[in-house]
Structure 1
Amino acid sequence: MNLQKLMKEAQKAQKKAAEVQERLGQMTVKGSAGGGLVEVTATGHGQIVGLKLQAGAVDPSDLESLEDLLLVAIQDAQKKAQDLQEKEMGRELGGIGQMLGGMF
């Protein structure tokens, strides 16, 4: 493969990666904890954009449990966002997309 062809392929891959990143910013995933007591919404980039609490999640005498539920739900949403990134990059760019997905 000559250098010029390799550069064109790299440019195509870069353009596709940018398109995937734009789509990921518009996609959302939900993470939850406590059987749905806490639900966190994140973009495909992992940015937290929403939080819902069920009444049973809040016990003023046990805020530590609520904190734990929040952490678990946030981690769940971020993991789902990471999985979504890898899936979308892999679909568009094959093996190299999965490597790039881990970079974002």
Structure 2
Amino acid sequence: MFGDMSGMMDKIKETQAKVEETKKRLDTVSLEEKSNDGLLKVTITANREIKAVEVADELLQDKEQLEDYLVLTLNNAIKKATDIQEAELGAVAKEGMPSIPGMDMFK
């Protein structure tokens, strides 16, 4: 029994290391999200860190419109980044989960 427990602990440590590696890799994955008309562009990492915001000059004339564009475009960018992050980290976690009868949570 203790041999199995030791093996499981090793597997969990290995999975934790893979999760950390994946998080670091996701820092290098950049996504671009643009408003429908292309007047606003946001660059974000898959770890949801905003790297750049580009605003067309014409948006600077209307504060309320710019704010609306920012909210919509940033939310879309964050959702895309979150989806990628969850998929990547979920795959690593699922791969590293020990097989415990009755505990198949990732079906």
Q: Same fold (TM over 0.5)?
A: yes
Distance in 1 between residues matched to 2:7 and 2:75, nearest whole Å: 41
Distance in 1 between residues matched to 2:33 and 2:79, nearest whole Å: 8
Check the 8 A contact 1:30/1:80 in 2, yes or no.
Answer: no
RMSD over aligned Cα atoms: 2.1
Q: For residues 68-79 of structure 1, what are the structure 2 equivalents within 5 Å?
A: 68-79=68-79
CA distance 1:16–1:36, change in 2 (3 Å): same
When the two structures are aligned, how many residues end up with a matched partner?
Answer: 95
CA distance 1:40–1:96, change in 2 (3 Å): farther
CA deviation map 1:8-37 (0-9, x unaligned): 110111011011001011111122224221
Q: For residues 1-104 of structure 1, what are the structure 2 equivalents within 5 Å?
A: 2-58=4-60, 60=61, 62-94=62-94
- Unmatched 5+ residue regions in structure 2? 98-107
Q: Whose RCO is larger (CA < 8 A, sep 6+)?
A: 2
CA distance 1:96–1:5, change in 2 (3 Å): closer
Distance in 2 between residues matched to 1:86 and 1:96, nearest whole Å: 15
Distance in 1 between residues matched to 2:96 and 2:86, nearest whole Å: 10
Percent of pairs with identical residues: 29
- TM-score, scaled to structure 1: 0.78
- Unmatched 5+ residue regions in structure 1? 98-104
Distance in 2 between residues matched to 1:43 and 1:90, nearest whole Å: 17
